[in-house]
Amino acid sequence: MRPVTRFVLLLGWLGYAIIPWYLPDGMSLTEFGWLAGYPFGKAGSALALALSGTAPWLLPIGALLVLATLQLGRSNAASVGRILIGAGLAGLALFFAQGFAITLKGQGLPTLAALLGGGGADTAQGGMGFGAFLTVLSLLLLLCHGLAYRGICRGDIFTTSSIGIIVLLIGLFIFYPVITILRSALVDQAGAFAPAAFFERLFSASIWGLGCVTANTNCGVAWNTLILAVLTGVTTTLLGLACALLILRTGMPGKRVMRLLTVLPIITPPFVIGLALILLFGRSGLFSNLLYEWFAIPRSRWIYGLPGILLAQVLAFAPIAFLVLIGVVQGISPSLEEASQTLGAKRWATFSTVTWPLLKPGIANAFLLGFVESMADFGNPLVLGGNFEVLSTKIFFAVVGAAHNQGQAAVLAFVLLAFTLGAFWIQRRWLGGKSYTTVTGKGDSGLPTPLPRRVTWLAGLVIVPWVSLTAVIYLVILVGGFVKTMGRDYTPTLEHYKTGFSIDFSRGLYFDGSAWNSFFTTIKLAAISAPLTAIIGLLTAYLLTRQRFSGRHLLEFATMLSFAIPGTVLGVSYILAFNVPPIEITGTGLILVITFVFRNMPVGVRSGIAGLSQIDKSLDEASTTLRARSFTTLWRVVLPLLRPALVAALIYSFVRSMTAVSAVIFLVSAEYNLSTAYIVGRVEAGEFGLAIAYSSVLIVFMAAGIGLIQLGVGERKLGRRVAAPVAATPAPAPAIG
């Protein structure tokens, strides 16, 4: 048995014999009152509880740990492997069986509970805690190590363990909640199985109606969502591409400003853009007023509906496309373009035959991101929707509205999922099996080709209005916090900031502003979840692209599924799934961190896959033949070359955590309130000034945070020659302000 397996066993025993098995109420790391009665009682360890007869169903799990421990001294890899696989599998099965069979009184699976020694429907146990977590982790790793001992994945423990952990996490925090909510699609309000009701809901006219074509009514909510998502996807991709090309391939002035401007919308909570658009273009908006006074153009409500939502979404999501595409444009080896030019191709021919096809995977990814973001967006349709309903808002109102119809929400989620999965399938078809490796092991040399003039003009033409509108919007947001009431009373004031962020120095340092609590909570949780998201996302991308194992396509499908679940659905499903044992974590900060991680993981996966597909596989192989194991290869070769992807993943998950609304609005509690939920509350209460002031504080803070991350990770060293001053590109600007 290898040392690392011994360590895993030690973890298992820690979790089983020492650390409290359940998650008791009132647990904290500073006061230990909740530990009363240890090792028995609510905070008891599994070993004590099992032996004392309180929870006899935990005993077999311990027996399996003993079985694994008996292998300590043995060195025959194959037979130790077989026993570890057996013990791990049986342990996991028993663990989950008891977890789901024995929950609250009268719930769970009574027959299975009796079989495990639980004594029928009366037995109950609380939510699993840290002891249980360590034990299940240890059992899983024992299984994975056993598989590696048997030669699975070329005997690489790191690979099998990573796969195991990611499969478990995705299973617990993606599949289990989704199954929970889809289950409620198939039952009626009373909880009985009702497939007829399901089909009736699924094909109802409110979802698929074509009223806007045939008659003068509204179209079905599915069509609305689809049209909006396609428009948003196409527009954001084009904008992002234009911007990436202009920044990297031309001598355009004001590049730094461009970078700053394109990043601003990402660090803005999405509904804030909607809000600013209303303040600008609404019936009493700034522009509407001007147009009315100067040209007598009547005020209208055009901003409420498809045009408004589209505008807000494009402003909000184009920077994401930009971040994806700038990495891809950077990764295109200049020597390929130089090759094309030496073959007699003019700039335009080079662009259309070499550069463009190489950009295709990035473009597909960017479109997919825009498409799915639009479908999942909840803030903007909420603020700007008017009569234009989309799936996400409809799901939200089905759950929290007067109807409280979980079945309806589940059916709508089903439709949404079909759309996003469809988008993914189309993308795969388009890309096919082409190879896009452009960073090879041979040191790249050459200078990037400047853009053809036509493309430069086109790109510039698209970008200028976007940039100016963005500038105006941020002006409104920044100024809005310093005036009494936007649109009516422009008297300067600091009142809004005082309410939210005053600090009282009279009694030491006391943060007595009303916003501080949610602000600190948000920062803490976002800072915890960003690195976790990046690690899990990039690790998944690495496994998917660089390792061959059976079930790889299933894993890919699973990560894609997590991508496809809109925040509203995820939030509701987490409430349903994690409000009762075996995993009872609603109301804690943990559930928010988990939500952030699994909401943002797909971004890490996507940027990781895009980055990895540009790194020649022979680099990995060279590292392997020099005796580096998978982990070392990942750490020393792949990760340094993946820095742009890492930056994107870190920035994006940090910022998304801070600006997330849709998923967390169900999950915040009094103790763990988040900035966005607080701001939405202010908007509902009509305190626009405070809402906008808080938003600008968030924006400034996130800009600073991004700057720090950027500094910490640094730029990718590709060893390319820096272009001579004459050849258009001056020294590369730091990526993001």
To other proteins, the closest distance from the beta carbon of 424 in angstroms equals: 25
To other proteins, the closest distance from the beta carbon of 147 in angstroms equals: 13
Q: Please identify which residue in 443, 465, 508, 712 interacts with other proteins, judged by CB under 8 A.
A: 443
**Per CB under 8 A, does 628 bind other proteins?**
yes
Q: Please identify which residue in 105, 346, 442, 453 interacts with other proteins, judged by CB under 8 A.
A: 442
Whose tokens are 């990611």? That residue is 166
Q: Please identify which residue in 76, 189, 217, 445 interacts with other proteins, judged by CB under 8 A.
A: 445
Quick one: which segment of 165-173, 434-442, 531-539, 554-562 binds other proteins (CB under 8 A)?
A: 434-442
Q: In terms of DSSP bridges, do strands 510-511 and 489-492 run parallel, antiparallel, or are they unpaired? A: unpaired
**Per CB under 8 A, does 508 bind other proteins?**
no
* Of residues 437 and 710, the one with the C-beta less far from other proteins: 437
Tell me the C-alpha distance between 589 and 444, whole Å. Answer: 46
Quick one: which segment of 195-203, 221-229, 287-295, 634-642 binds other proteins (CB under 8 A)?
A: 634-642
* Of residues 254 and 640, the one with the C-beta less far from other proteins: 640
Quick one: which segment of 68-76, 149-157, 520-528, 555-563 binds other proteins (CB under 8 A)?
A: 149-157
Tell me the C-alpha distance between 408 and 398, whole Å. Answer: 7
Q: Please identify which residue in 621, 685, 727, 730 interacts with other proteins, judged by CB under 8 A.
A: 621
CB 599 within 8 A of CB 683: no
Closest CA to 281 of 37, 1, 473: 473
To other proteins, the closest distance from the beta carbon of 159 in angstroms equals: 10
* Of residues 250 and 333, the one with the C-beta less far from other proteins: 333
The contacts of residue 17 (CB under 8 Å, 6+ apart) are: 45, 46, 47, 62
To other proteins, the closest distance from the beta carbon of 636 in angstroms equals: 7
The DSSP letter of residue 733 is P
Q: In terms of DSSP bridges, do strands 503-504 and 510-511 run parallel, antiparallel, or are they unpaired? A: antiparallel
Give the rounded distance of the alpha carbon of 679 from its chain centre: 21
* Of residues 48 and 543, the one with the C-beta less far from other proteins: 543
**Per CB under 8 A, does 677 bind other proteins?**
no
Closest CA to 521 of 650, 655, 658: 658
**Per CB under 8 A, does 579 bind other proteins?**
no
To other proteins, the closest distance from the beta carbon of 640 in angstroms equals: 5
Count of CB atoms within 10 A of residue 222's CB? 20
Tell me the C-alpha distance between 338 and 344, whole Å. Answer: 10
Count of CB atoms within 10 A of residue 643's CB? 18
**Per CB under 8 A, does 623 bind other proteins?**
yes
Q: Please identify which residue in 32, 636, 685, 734 interacts with other proteins, judged by CB under 8 A.
A: 636
The contacts of residue 137 (CB under 8 Å, 6+ apart) are: 11, 12, 15, 165
Which residues are 510's β-sheet partners?
504
To other proteins, the closest distance from the beta carbon of 46 in angstroms equals: 36
Which residues are 467's β-sheet partners?
none
Quick one: which segment of 81-89, 169-177, 290-298, 442-450 binds other proteins (CB under 8 A)?
A: 442-450
**Per CB under 8 A, does 255 bind other proteins?**
no
**Per CB under 8 A, does 735 bind other proteins?**
no
* Of residues 160 and 595, the one with the C-beta less far from other proteins: 160
Q: Is the dihedral of CA 54, 60, 61, 64 positive or negative?
A: positive
**Per CB under 8 A, does 718 bind other proteins?**
yes
**Per CB under 8 A, does 111 bind other proteins?**
no
Size of the site for other proteins (CB under 8 A): 34
**Per CB under 8 A, does 105 bind other proteins?**
no
Instruction: Write the CA distances from 601 to 156, 445, 591, integer angstroms.
Output: 24, 34, 15
3-state DSSP assignment of residue 490 = strand
**Per CB under 8 A, does 145 bind other proteins?**
no
Query: Left (φ > 0), alpha (ψ -120 to 50) or beta: where does 19 sit?
Result: beta
Residue numbers 590-619 binding other proteins by CB under 8 A = 616, 618-619
Let me know the angle formed at the C-alpha of 737 by 536 and 241, rounded to the nearest 5 degrees. 75
Interface residues toward other proteins, by CB under 8 A: 151, 154-156, 439-445, 616, 618-619, 621-629, 632, 636-637, 640-641, 716-721
